C-alpha cells in the first residue's frame, strides 16, 4: 500500500507498491539492514531516477572524502534549499560521524571551525552561489589546505547529489522519517 501523508505530494512506495524497476533496489536496502527512507520511497516512483541516485551514492560512499566532510556538504545544501527533511537526515548522520552541534550549525552556512574544511566549503559555496565558475583563489586556498583535485571534484559530486536530494525532498514536501528529531534551529 502506498503511503501519502497530509503534506507529501508524491506516493511513498515500499516493495509492494513500487514500480517493478524499483523493487530490487528497495529490497536491497532492506536486506542490508536498512529501512527505506521516505526519500527513497518517493524516488522509487521513478525507477530510472532511483537507479541513478543509488549508483551515484554507492560510488561516492567508496570515495576519498571523510564522512564528516560529506555530511557538512549535505547540511549546507539542505539549508540553502530550505529542505527540513534533508537537514534532519544529515544532522543525524553528522552526529554519528562525530560532528558536534556547533559544527553542524556552522556547516549549514558553509562554515567550519576547521580551516581545512572551511576552505573546501568556501569553494563549494561559491560554486553554488554563482551558478558558474567560482573565483580561482578559492580553489587555490582549498589546495593550500591540502585538498587534492580528486577530493575537490568528489566534493562537487557530493554537492550535486545533495542538490538532487533536496530538490526531490522539497518537490515532494517530505515529512521527517519516524524518530527523526534532529532538526536544529535555522543556521541564520
Q: Is the pLDDT of residue 178 over 80?
A: no
pLDDT of residue 183: 38
Mean per-residue pLDDT of the chain: 89
- Nearest residue to 14 (alpha-carbon basis) of 35, 188, 182, 155: 35
Say what the pLDDT of residue 180 is: 47
| Listed residue (65, 97, 90, 95) closest to 163, CA to CA | 90
Asked if the model's pLDDT at residue 177 lies above 70, the reply is no
- The CATH fold of domain 67-172: AhpD-like (1.20.1290)
Give the tens place of pLDDT for each residue, 85-136: 999 999 999 999 999 999 999 999 999 999 999 999 999 999 999 867 899 9
Distance CA 133, CA 103 (A): 27
Ranges for all domains in the chain classified under CATH 1.20.1290.10 = 67-172
State the pLDDT at residue 32: 76
Amino acid at each position: 500500500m502506498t503511503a501519502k501523508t497530509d503534506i507529501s505530494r508524491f506516493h511513498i512506495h515500499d516493495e509492494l507498491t513500487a514500480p517493478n524497476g524499483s523493487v530490487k533496489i528497495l529490497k536491497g536496502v532492506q536486506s542490508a539492514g536498512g529501512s527505506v527512507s521516505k526519500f527513497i520511497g518517493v524516488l522509487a516512483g521513478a525507477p530510472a531516477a532511483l537507479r541513478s541516485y543509488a549508483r551515484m551514492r554507492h560510488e561516492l560512499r567508496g570515495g576519498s572524502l571523510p564522512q564528516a566532510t560529506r555530511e557538512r556538504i549535505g547540511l549546507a545544501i539542505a539549508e540553502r534549499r530550505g529542505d527540513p527533511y534533508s537537514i534532519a537526515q544529515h544532522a543525524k548522520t553528522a552526529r554519528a560521524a562525530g560532528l558536534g552541534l556547533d559544527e553542524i550549525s556552522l556547516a549549514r552556512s558553509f562554515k567550519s571551525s576547521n580551516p581545512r574544511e572551511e576552505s573546501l566549503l568556501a569553494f563549494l559555496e561559491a560554486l553554488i552561489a554563482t551558478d558558474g565558475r567560482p573565483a580561482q583563489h578559492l580553489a587555490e586556498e582549498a589546495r593550500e589546505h591540502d585538498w587534492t583535485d580528486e577530493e575537490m571534484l568528489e566534493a562537487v559530486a557530493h554537492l550535486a547529489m545533495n542538490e538532487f536530494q533536496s530538490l526531490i525532498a522539497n518537490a515532494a514536501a517530505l515529512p521527517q522519517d519516524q524518530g527523526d528529531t534532529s532538526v536544529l534551529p535555522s543556521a541564520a
